Amino acid sequence: MDKQSAIYVAGHRGLAGSAIWRTLESRGYARLIGRTSRELDLRDAGAVEAFFASAGIEYVFLAAAKVGGIVANNDYCGDFIRDNLLIQTNVIDAARRHGAKKLLFLGSTCIYPKLAPQPLQEESLLRGDLEPTNEAYAIAKIAGIKMCQAYNRQYGTTFISAMPTNLYGPNDNFDLETSHVLPALLRKIHEAKQSGAPEVDIWGTGTPRREFLHADDLADACLYLMEHYDGSDIVNIGVGEDIAIRELAELIARVVGYEGRLAFDASRPDGTPRKLVDTSRINGLGWRASTTLEDGIREVYAGYRQAVLA
């Protein structure tokens, strides 16, 4: 990419997409193209076709997706598989037909088997059963990976796929019904502090371990891959270390200043026991994450408080 390349960031208002947009902007890329879901419904093949036919897009960051936490993935599994298959199929195919030079497809580490060896290596894909609570979303993402690989093989495209671990950062979703664990905990604990509640109810046992990647680190990695990687093999993006959900809740409580009790409800589902990714491949390409979890949470909490008070 050069600074005048026409670059489309699909999902530029979301957590990952907005971070990619900010990073591109900060580095002087002048021709960024974004459309809100109201302006362009990526589930509509005709609308996507018309958009690509007129926009002259050279590079694509495909960060648009229907996302959510355990509850949303489990309760709305039909919506998750349908919408994600439509979004990625329409964008990937239009990019191919209209001659995009390169596309980066953002997947998720939920593509890996529930009981895959830890840390999760790229080679574990399709070597076991998926976590049932997010199977529909994972299958859609696996289809996107395989579509990129098939297009590279048949059409000679350069469509790459990156698998980020759990993300957090500016523009995160704090809705308690549809958000991921970190923003949900942050909101719950903040509201408990504000109300003076003696305890916070938290789903699960607190024992599952998760890895958390700041969205700005993800964006940096995506640009790095666009500039340094042309392979069809998937690439994990992570920090290389994880934390128990109980420890995460305690860290958030310290950041928020909440001194009440954290009550873990073992009758609720835990999800995958552990999700730590092997970052050897991307580290070998020369990239590493730079944001510590505590620093990242402090930044996100400051932004959340500002938004709540606005």
SS3 for 264-299 is EECCCCCCCCEECECCHHHHHHCCCCCCCHHHHHHH
User: For residue 241, which phi and psi values (nearest 5 degrees)?
Assistant: -150, 150
Q: What is the pLDDT of residues 172-229, one digit of tens each?
A: 889 887 778 899 999 999 999 999 999 999 989 999 999 999 999 999 999 999 999 9
pLDDT at 130: 94
Torsion angle (degrees, nearest 10) of CA 48, 50, 54, 56: 30
State the residue for tokens 């939920």: 110
**Annotated binding residues for substrate, as ranges?**
188, 203, 210, 270
* Length reported for the chain: 310
Tell me the catalytic residues.
137
- Give the pLDDT confidence score for residue 241 in this predicted structure: 94
Strand 209-210 and strand 243-244: the pairing is antiparallel
First to last CA, the chain: 38
Whole-angstrom Cα distance, residue 23 to residue 27?
6
301: which residues sit within 8 A by CB, 6+ positions away? 186, 190, 252, 255, 256
Q: Which residues are annotated as a binding site for NADP(+)?
A: 11-17, 106-109, 141, 164-167, 180
Residue 292 CB burial class (10 angstroms; 0-12, 13-18, ≥19): exposed
Q: Are 113 and 274 in contact (CB under 8 A)?
A: no
Whole-angstrom distance, CA of residue 288 vs CA of residue 290? 6
* Per-residue confidence (pLDDT) for residue 176, from 0 to 100: 81
One-letter identity of residue 37: S
CATH superfamily ID and name for 6-171+211-241+275-291? NAD(P)-binding Rossmann-like Domain (3.40.50.720)
Q: Where are the domains of the chain?
A: 6-171+211-241+275-291
**Per-residue model confidence (pLDDT) at position 310:** 67
Angle at 221 between CA 108 and CA 88, to 5 degrees: 40
Q: What is the pLDDT along the chain (310 residues), one digit of tens a residue?
A: 999 999 999 999 999 999 999 999 999 999 999 999 999 999 999 999 999 999 999 999 999 999 877 777 888 899 999 999 999 999 999 999 999 999 999 999 999 998 899 999 999 999 999 988 889 999 999 999 999 999 999 999 999 999 999 999 998 889 887 778 899 999 999 999 999 999 999 989 999 999 999 999 999 999 999 999 999 999 999 999 999 999 999 999 999 999 999 999 999 988 778 889 999 999 999 999 999 999 999 999 999 999 887 6
Q: Which residues are annotated binding-site positions?
A: 11-17, 106-109, 141, 164-167, 180, 188, 203, 210, 270
Identify the pLDDT of residue 243. Answer: 97
Nearest to 297 by CA among 214, 241, 239, 178: 214
**Contact between residue 13 and residue 1 where contact means Cβ atoms under 8 Å apart:** no
Of 49, 40, 136, which Cα lies nearest the Cα of 91? Answer: 49
Helix (H) / strand (E) element for 167: namely strand 166-168
pLDDT at residue number 173: 85
pLDDT score, position 271 = 75
- Using only C-alpha atoms, the chain has a radius of gyration, in whole angstroms, of 19
